[in-house]
Structure 1
Amino acid sequence: MSDSPPSRLSRADKSAQPPRSRDPRSLFVRLVEFLSPGPDSTAELIETLADAEQRELIEPESRVMLEGVIRMATMTAGDVMVAVRRMDLLDIESPYDALLAQVIDTGHSRFPVFEGSRDNIIGILMAKDLLKLQRAPELNLRTLLRPPVFVPESKGLNELLRDFRSTRSHLAIVIDEFGKTAGLITIEDVLEEIVGEIEDEFDEEDGQASIFTLADGSQRVAGDAPIDSVNETFDADLPVDEFDTIGGLVAHELGRVPRRGEYVDLGGLRFRVMLARGGAVRWFKVTRAPDQAEAAAS
């Protein structure tokens, strides 16, 4: 009895077989990848970018941005937020003049608004919307509020940036695991993790003055303002031997870079931090120290 011939696939069976997937990469590319494999970790990838910059394959600014994108993937809202104790909030029950003064003093464009307790944030007020009350006092402040966006501390920055873009929001309130306010974060805070510091409404062009008079008569002084200029403006006698700028002098006296809202009394003047970024104070609000102000009034 003869053995049966080996079975063969019919043409129809062959056509039913899934086609073999072809690797679109050339043989040369695959060989290079085999001999010189790419980075296996984030640290190695960042080292590769640094090497590319040294070989002038990418610009330094591009490397910084790429590193920012890589590092941001592991960061959360809690890593970047402004802590609740340093948040500038508006009380819905405050009179218009008090609200306007706070908006002018802090210089932000958006403010969380609370009712009763600071944990009960009921909306976001645009500074420009507050001006509508001046023209139409009959308006109710509540009608000008925009709905707040709440995010958990654990929310990834990549996901948060997508949410900001899709909802056209610029500010979110960060809450902790118990549902209480932990801080706030803005789209600017997220973008600065990629591109570095972004100039804002407090920033001035080079060559412009660094001391300005605010609406309440106090002064806004840049952190890099020369101490000589501060002495001349306020008729003060701050030391100029060790430091050139007022920010350096204040940080030395405090022993660290002060945070927003903190203040230091020096030479009869009170330097309250209005804005601090990048490990330095950008702007101070400067007034007479309480004891000096009382002495001048008596």
Structure 2
Amino acid sequence: MSDEQPPSRNSPQKSWVDKISHLLTGEPQDLEDLLEILREAREKRLLDTDALSMIEGVLQVSQMRVRDIMIPRVQMVVVPKDAELETIMPLVTEFGHSRYPVIDGDRSKVVGVLLAKDLLARILENKTLKVHEIMRLSCVVPESKRLNVLLKELRTNGNHMAIVVDEYGQSAGLVTIEDVLEQIVGEIEDEHDDHEDEGYIFQRSSNEYMIKALTPMDEFDEYFSTHLATDEYDTIGGFIVSQLEHMPKKGESLIVGAMKFEVIRVDSRRVHLLKLKIIE
């Protein structure tokens, strides 16, 4: 057995032996080598930017875990297991999701999943039916599960959503197959997204707005009569990252004066959508 150790992916610099070996073999020795080859291919126009971005996303997904992208339980839209179907219709209509975690008492105890299509089919038969009578079993995964493994399991089992549990078996949040795919292909918008508007800024109420992260700073300042633009960033998404000094996670918030920003959609490379609430 050879005593040689494989080159570390985290090594800041390769030794001269590694460099010579790479030159002689022409093969990537680690993940960073592989990415460098792919980026060179893009520069030579053998790959386009979108293709490279997706390949990078695939490679990154294999290293990320469920906890990195899950929706925290405090942000889950849930329904009580003992609620009558008629009483939850306003909530289902308001949010327009296809699936809702069913809880027993509080959000840490998810006991099933309610499908909107099941609700619509059964409510016509009997409005007084309880949620627990038509809910389905939930797919449960640990926070530590790798995203590539989760994606394979969701596809194999035909599940679109999984409940994430912590080390004590309590609900920590949820993750959908769309959340995982967005780490590979970027933002996926659907017909229920409020922000699917021709402009950058969509007003939801008198003090709440949905804002695309690509909104130019000049346009943001003009709309809200602010003076946030500088030469350091061009968009409101860049402003948020600059203020936080890291790539935020979904649900992370930032208060600037009388404005509270909340990150609604983000992938491993950039912020996509923000919610802005004017604090009264």
- Pick one of 193, 196, 201 that aligns with 1:202: 193
- Pick one of 22, 28, 36 that aligns with 2:25: 36
- Pick one of 201, 211, 221 that aligns with 1:223: 211
Deviation at 1:229, TM superposition (A): 9.2
Which deviates more from structure 2 when the two are superposed, residues 219-228 or residues 73-82? 219-228
Deviation at 1:266, TM superposition (A): 7.7
CA contact (8 A) 1:175 1:182 kept: yes
CA contact (8 A) 2:221 2:228 kept: no
Whole-angstrom CA distance in 1 between matches of 2:87 and 2:278? 18
- Pick one of 153, 161, 169 that aligns with 1:171: 161
Q: Which residue does the alignment assign to 1:142? A: 132
Q: State whether structure 2 residue 51 is matched by structure 1 residue 62.
A: yes
Deviation at 1:114, TM superposition (A): 0.4
Cα 1:282–1:81 change in 2 (3 A) is: same
| Secondary structure of the corresponding residue to residue 207 of structure 1 | coil
Any stretches of 5+ residues in structure 1 without a counterpart?
Answer: 1-32, 231-237, 290-298
1:4-43 correspondence to structure 2 within 5 Å: 35-43=24-32
CA contact (8 A) 1:107 1:202 kept: no
Deviation at 1:52, TM superposition (A): 0.9
Whole-angstrom CA distance in 2 between matches of 1:211 and 1:185? 26
Whole-angstrom CA distance in 2 between matches of 1:288 and 1:131? 37
Q: State whether structure 2 residue 152 is matched by structure 1 residue 162.
A: yes
1:244-259 correspondence to structure 2 within 5 Å: 248=236, 256=244
**Which amino acid is the alignment partner of residue 239 of structure 1?**
S
Deviation at 1:55, TM superposition (A): 1.1
Q: State whether structure 2 residue 77 is matched by structure 1 residue 91.
A: no
Which deviates more from structure 2 when the two are superposed, residues 39-48 or residues 198-207? 198-207
Any stretches of 5+ residues in structure 2 without a counterpart?
Answer: 1-21, 230-234
Deviation at 1:181, TM superposition (A): 1.6
**Which amino acid is the alignment partner of residue 222 of structure 1?**
M
Q: State whether structure 2 residue 260 is matched by structure 1 residue 239.
A: no
RMSD: 3.9
Deviation at 1:134, TM superposition (A): 5.0
Whole-angstrom CA distance in 1 between matches of 2:135 and 2:198? 38
| Secondary structure of the corresponding residue to residue 71 of structure 1 | helix
* Alignment TM-score, normalising by the size of structure 1: 0.64
Whole-angstrom CA distance in 2 between matches of 1:38 and 1:266? 53
Q: Which residue does the alignment assign to 1:79? A: 68
**Which amino acid is the alignment partner of residue 137 of structure 2?**
P
Deviation at 1:281, TM superposition (A): 7.0
Whole-angstrom CA distance in 1 between matches of 2:276 and 2:23? 60
| Secondary structure of the corresponding residue to residue 77 of structure 2 | coil
Q: State whether structure 2 residue 270 is matched by structure 1 residue 282.
A: no
Deviation at 1:164, TM superposition (A): 0.8
Q: Which has the higher contact order (CA 8 A, sep 6+)?
A: 2
CA displacement, residues 27-75 of structure 1 (integer Å, 9 cap, x when unaligned): xxxxxx9943310111111111111111111111111111111121122
Whole-angstrom CA distance in 1 between matches of 2:254 and 2:92? 19
Cα 1:280–1:97 change in 2 (3 A) is: farther
CA displacement, residues 67-124 of structure 1 (integer Å, 9 cap, x when unaligned): 1111211222222222223323222244656633433444433211101232221111
**Which amino acid is the alignment partner of residue 273 of structure 2?**
R
**Which amino acid is the alignment partner of residue 198 of structure 2?**
G
CA contact (8 A) 1:77 1:153 kept: yes
The structure that has the greater radius of gyration is 1
Deviation at 1:265, TM superposition (A): 10
Deviation at 1:125, TM superposition (A): 1.4
Whole-angstrom CA distance in 1 between matches of 2:271 and 2:57? 20
Q: Which residue does the alignment assign to 2:174? A: 184
- Pick one of 153, 160, 168 that aligns with 2:143: 153
Cα 1:121–1:260 change in 2 (3 A) is: same
Cα 1:199–1:165 change in 2 (3 A) is: same
Whole-angstrom CA distance in 2 between matches of 1:145 and 1:53? 48
